[in-house]
Structures are given as structure tokens and as C-alpha cells.
Amino acid sequence: MVCIGGNRCMETVQGDITLQKVDALVNAANTSLLGGGGVDGAIHRAGGPAILEECRALNGCETGDAKITTGGNLFASYVIHTVGPVYEDGKQGEPELLASCYRRSLEVAVENHIQTLAFPAISCGVYGYPLEEAAQIALEECVAFLKASTAIRLVRFVLFNETIHRVFQNALSQVTGC
């Protein structure tokens, strides 16, 4: 765990995001918000039908934006759904869109008085974002947000396997100098 200032901390863990005991989980969703594979499918399955019901009323979500629903049957009270970019070549606005996913998720968290949240590695699965680049963008965006806002107490990155966890842990060390 790395403290960014005051009571604001960040950490990386390897595990299952659906089991996290935080105020909100961030879902790496698709634009329909109606469920899919990977993290998205796991969150919808674990959270139950209440999440899908609320997602239907949201009329989708644009890439780089974020919207919130109940956490349904999850430990987390809320799910913040964000749509990451599909990686093409890094020259189609992908870095800016990925940064926006993290920033908008944190903004939605603050708007809803959420103090602790867990992120997956957005766009790093089937969307094909290169892992090292994605980790750097994610950690830089979150550290900058925590330095500017005292509303969030904990940002946890929950990474599915050892390789992804190691990359994010290294990026956290580089970005924070710790």
C-alpha cells in the first residue's frame, strides 16, 4: 500500500474483483452496459439481475465515460461501469480515452460519496491494450486525482493474475517513487 497524502492510499492486489469489500467496484464494461465476458461478465453474474436491470435504464455508455448502478448481491454497494478503448495502434486517441475511464470513474465515485473503490485493468483483456502502457496511464491518472481530491480514501487495483499484478505493482512504484 502506498499513501498519496493524508489518508489517501493506493494498492495493487491479485485476486477476484467481485469479492472486494469496498464501496464500489469499477466494471470494465462494453458500450451497451448489458454484460459481456471477462470482468464485465463476472460482475454481472456475481451481482445478480439488479445490476442488469439498472444498466438497461442507462441507455449505454460512451467510451471513456462512466455510469453507476447498484452493486446488487456484491459486497460493494455500487458498480461504476466504464468503457475502455479498443486498442488499435495507440494513435487513435486510446491513451486519452483510457485516462478518461479512470478519471470519470473517480469523479462518479466522488459525486456519489464513495470513498473506497476497486479497479480492474481496464482494456487489457480482449480490448488488447498493451499492459505496461495501460498500467502507467491508470496509475498516473489515479495518483493525480488523489493528490487533487481528498474525497477518495482508497483506490485498489485488483488484478486477475500474477503477471498483470506484477506490471501494475511496478507501475505504482514508478509513478509514486515508493
Give the Cα-Cα-Cα angle 48, 17, 105 (nearest 5 degrees): 90
Q: Is the pTM of this model over 0.85?
A: yes
Rounded to the nearest angstrom, the gap between the alpha carbon of residue 110 and the centroid of all alpha carbons in its chain is: 14
Q: Which of 89, 91, 69 is nearest to 80 (CA)?
A: 69
Place of cell 467510451: 63
Q: From residue 20, how far is each of 91, 127, 148 by CA, in Å?
A: 34, 24, 25
Rounded CA separation 83/98 (Å): 9
Q: H-helix or E-strand containing 62? A: none
**83 is in which domain, residue-wise?**
2-176
Catalytic residue among 23, 40, 65, 89: 40
Percent of the chain scoring above 90 in pLDDT? 95
Rounded CA separation 132/151 (Å): 28
End-to-end CA distance of the chain: 9
In this predicted structure, the answer to whether residue 49 has a pLDDT above a threshold of 90 is yes
In this predicted structure, the answer to whether residue 5 has a pLDDT above a threshold of 90 is no
The answer to whether residue 16 is catalytic is no
Rounded CA separation 164/157 (Å): 10
pLDDT, tens digit, 9 for 90 and up, residues 13-38: 999 999 999 999 999 999 999 998 99
Q: H-helix or E-strand containing 105? A: helix 94-111
DSSP 8-state secondary structure symbol assigned to residue 86: P
Q: Which amino acid is at 144?
A: A
Alpha helices, DSSP H, located in the chain: 38-47, 49-57, 94-111, 131-148, 162-176
Crossing angle (nearest 10°) for helices 162-176 and 131-148: 50
pLDDT the model gives residue 177: 86
In this predicted structure, the answer to whether residue 96 has a pLDDT above a threshold of 90 is yes
Q: What is the CATH number of the domain that holds 17?
A: 3.40.220.10
pLDDT, tens digit, 9 for 90 and up, residues 97-140: 999 999 999 999 999 999 999 999 999 999 999 999 999 999 99
The number of domains in the chain is: 1
In this predicted structure, the answer to whether residue 178 has a pLDDT above a threshold of 90 is no
More confident of the two residues 158 and 6: 158
